[in-house]
Structure 1
Amino acid sequence: MNKLITILGPTASGKTPLAAALAREVDGEILSADSRQVYRRMDLGTGKDLADYTITDAQGTVTIPYHLIDICEPGTKYNLFQYQQDFFDAYEDIVKRGKQPILCGGTGLYIEAVLKGYHLSPVPQNPELRASLEGKSLEELTETLKELKAKNGSIMHNTTDVDSCQRAIRAIEIETYNIEHPMPLRELPAIDSLIIGVNIDRELRREKITRRLKARLDEGMLDEIRALLDSGIPAEDLIYYGLEYKYLTEYVVGNLTYDEMFRQLEIAIHQFAKRQMTWFRGMERRGFTINWIDATLPMEEKVQAIQQLMATQK
């Protein structure tokens, strides 16, 4: 059986093109590890860059198969438990067909959960709890969450995503449920993986983030937000998804000026990328070996470096 290859890195590090180029060489298929790319019609804001999966070379043009992208409707609250189930089903299917599975993304919690085989149960909404938390500030909610996490001994919740009251309330709901209920419903095995990290210089990363944000706005990211709102998705549901969806929605509904939106969003993405790196460094402290590759190397050299590592793992 082909060992899972995991390619991780912060936003704008070039993970997807690298995963696609590798997949072309090793007859692979890509499993996305991105908590927002699961949503249909949320394309520019989540950075799907689907064109990256199509490769043209001397042998012709090929589209690399990908999984766990565009699998649910905007407005729904996809979660880690669902991701684990969906990942494992897709992973088993790829392995059964004799293809090379490649996990690629920047949501560290999702990556760590499937590699470790976290034991999770689905957490239903708790209307009474939600009512009791309504009106509390983000600071108060964050404090409540910290106390619950301390009781649970929990490192499961991805605090990098608690950037709105709605997200914080959902996190509190999960922690409260985990205190009151025994865990796993379906146990999934840990998966051994060769992990590749794409290492990008901080200043280059900042430059690429700003350039990419401008490009996506030029490509119609605001039109994407307006179309989602026009389709009946409430503004607060889009704000829940954070980053681009939070700030662009705030602009569209008139809560921010264009300049305020751009400046605040740019800062938020820089902070997000920094937190992604903090998570990956934490994974190393928790026992994962990450083989870091320089993002600025030519694509061919990066692919060859990974193939050499793959050869030593067999």
Structure 2
Amino acid sequence: MSREQRAALDSLLRNGPLDVGGDHLKQREVFTRMLTSRPPAEDVVLTPGTLGKVPVLEVGIDGVTPNGTLLWFHGGFYVFGSARASAGLASDLARRTGTRVALVDYRLAPECPYPAALDDAVAAYRGLLDETAGGDPARVVVVGESAGAGLAAALLVRAREQNLPMPAAGVLFSPYADLTLSGESMTTKTAVDPAFTPDAVAVRAKDYVGAADPADPLISPVFAGLRGLPPLLIQAGSNELLLDDAVRLAARAAADDVQVTLQVTPGVPHLFQAFAAMLDEGETALGQAADFLRATRGPGCGADVRQAEV
């Protein structure tokens, strides 16, 4: 069944309406429609709020008392996306881990290029630490998808530089972590990536970088020193242009003595976890992420709500 599922997803993405390199205003609308076409599950509770004066969307599961917070950064090449557009994927992991999610609506490029998104991420993280009982970072996990995963990695580096306490862990789904676009997979995976092209990604990279240097470690964390960061889980699919972003980020973390787990799933595209409803590999990857959080944060984290209801 998985082969048929992968083929169906590949066709869906290749024939979809999103043009990553197109007019950013039009493509924002397309991106949002794609990711919000299915309403959240009936037990998902969405509550607008703020952290550090940055807008967030809190995601909870009805009837579940959360045992921690996932500070979540959405994807979209820093140009598309929103907290609401990522609520489905975020609620899935929240349900598996018994946590709440704070989805950050950081400012988007090209209207607000670097460092706007990073400034918002740091402000939200500081706000969450202030809100958390006793400022306990052990109750916080930083999560990101695609550009949000690159932003999450940059946040951890900036937080370390500012001597802020580290969260319990970081979970990075298909990180967009090299805006110099120098990874080999940017050329070797062009035939199998069903959603992106190098030219389209280059357009969006320029939007975010603006007048800055794309090799700045806080723009491209593959070039950052990662020593002192918390345990990391990095997941990617083998059929994505950004595969080398994940592989090199994990290698950099390992070289800097960071506890890191890299999981590359063969034959699946960028951010395949978002398609868990139709793809067995996505379901498996989210289960692995929940297992990682249980192991990282201890036995008090991560009772699977679905199992508890049986």
Q: TM-score scaled to structure 1, two decimals?
A: 0.39
- Indicate the structure (1 or 2) with the bigger Cα radius of gyration: 1
Larger proportion of helix: 1
Q: TM-score scaled to structure 2, two decimals?
A: 0.39
